[in-house]
Structure 1
């Protein structure tokens, strides 16, 4: 049963990402919240925090977005998700006009993931 909950949470995360890409933020947020209710861990939880950050950033709430990205930056070592979270954190900090913090994380991204390239997003 525990495994099933993990797969369900991961499926909801995938659907939420797809819905965000289709500009259906309301349903993407519902899927993200439903996934969180299943208490996922590890990579799925990190992906959910990035999705929630992306939703907040799209809604114009850069402060909430930054908080979600910081969770991933601070507590996950995933080599795919952590640089994405740092990249998105930089975007959120720039929207808050916090250039000093953005520069700090830009340097961290360069130091920890020198060959990482940002994905093309809609």
Structure 2
């Protein structure tokens, strides 16, 4: 039986990229609290269907908070690039706008002492 909601390719790609980001956090941050903020256990959510099919035992699954942040960033980038198609250095310009907005957010804040966090 098919799930009632099949995620779009765009959402599936966002979930997959979120899993990659969670893997980078796992390998580079050495902080269980950061990893807990960025990941969640695999489940049967249709949203994770593509990633589950690709999983050979090593994928991490992004938390709802991380997915929300990534989808918001994706929507911002889509809108900004649509409204400014000739934007010079788009990655630099979009990063310049988004990093200062995302860093103070409590959405992906580590629950430990924050001494290892980097800003901007």
TM-score computed with the length of structure 2 as normaliser = 0.31
- Bigger radius of gyration: 2
TM-score computed with the length of structure 1 as normaliser = 0.30
